[in-house]
Amino acid sequence: MVSWFSKSIVALTIRMPKWFVGWVSRRYVAGPSLNDAVKIMNRLSKENACFTVDVLGEEITSLEEAQFFLDEYLAVIEAIRENNLDANLSIKPTAFGLLIDEKQGMKNIETLVRMANEQDLFVRLDMEDYRVTTATIQVVLDLHKQGLTNVGTVLQGRLFRTLDDINHLEMELGPAADYRICKGIYLESEDIAFTSYQDIVDSTNACIDRMLEAGSYCSIASHDIPVIEYAKSALESHGMGPNIPDPRPNAAPLRNAKGPGYEFQMLLGVRGPLRRKLAKNGHRTRVYVPYGEKWYEYSIRRLQENPTLGTQYAKAFLMPWTNRP
């Protein structure tokens, strides 16, 4: 249930001048340029963080626009190499044309994944709304069949279908399946998704259990204490943890720039103290670093899609000491 306070914050923010939105969002977005993202990553590297880089922009209106993302991500790959950054890539499939022409969108994504594979970099396909859930999963399956195993998807705990999707991916890929599991930013219809906080948490935790049982690589992307504590307990039950080689008999071989079968992930600017605590305790922690000229659209979209973020933004604004980046 979205509170009236969160809705009010969202309504107010959307009506504020662009400079104000930029001032608030600067803790969550690296900046408009790749250089901004590199600076952030160099700084946070000192906190034992690794990264996944996202070029902002999605759901393009023409296939010609996809070329921008291919070119920009090629620059990201080069920047990661030149700066010796512990980073991989996050991409929005719709930014490559998946909703305009599925075949061409798939081809564009394949081109990028091949370029990343040459540098031993992993590519994470971000999960967007329900319209592209099936298509995004199919892209991963098709690329693995071509021998491109440096790619995995995001799954959203709030969707009813997610456990079935995990089972399907396990059947097709075995332990080579590599997931980021999150609650999900999109407030989907109650016909296809859980809508209460506890149901979403319980479903997300069930997905973590299933991924660990399957021997898959499990990236736990959450800022919720109940999810993180549950994940730590589940990892312990499998004999997994910081600096322990993955003991699961069905686990995939350790991939470069990955943890021992799992890692924790958080958004840039959110729950910094918690992330640093996890890192201090030896857990691999990855920060999602978005950048690009579309920072304004990204900030507004996230608020509109999930008004509960309004409360978090207000807290960060009024009490910044509680959420140091």
Distance, CA of 179 to CA of 191 (rounded, Å): 24
- Residue 217 contacts residue 176 (beta carbons within 8 Å): no
Count CB atoms within 10 A of the CB of residue 293: 13
- What domains can you pick out in the chain, each with its CATH number? 30-291 (3.20.20.220)
Q: Strand (E) positions, the chain?
A: 49-55, 87-91, 123-125, 151-156, 178-182, 217-221, 262-267, 285-291
With 70 as the cut, is the pLDDT of residue 319 above it?
Answer: no
| Mean pLDDT, all residues of the chain | 87
Distance, CA of 72 to CA of 77 (rounded, Å): 9
Pairing of strands 151-156, 285-291: unpaired
At 310 the pLDDT is 52
Q: How confident is the model at residue 229 (pLDDT cuts 50, 70, 90)?
A: very high
Higher pLDDT, 298 or 150: 150
- Residue 272 contacts residue 321 (beta carbons within 8 Å): no
Work out the average pLDDT over 246-274: 90
Distance, CA of 92 to CA of 53 (rounded, Å): 11
Indicate the residue type of 231: A
DSSP string, 58-70: -S-SSGGGHHHHH
At 60 the pLDDT is 85
Provide the greatest CA pair distance for the chain: 55
Work out the average pLDDT over 92-98: 94
> pTM value?
0.88
With 60 as the cut, is the pLDDT of residue 10 above it?
Answer: no
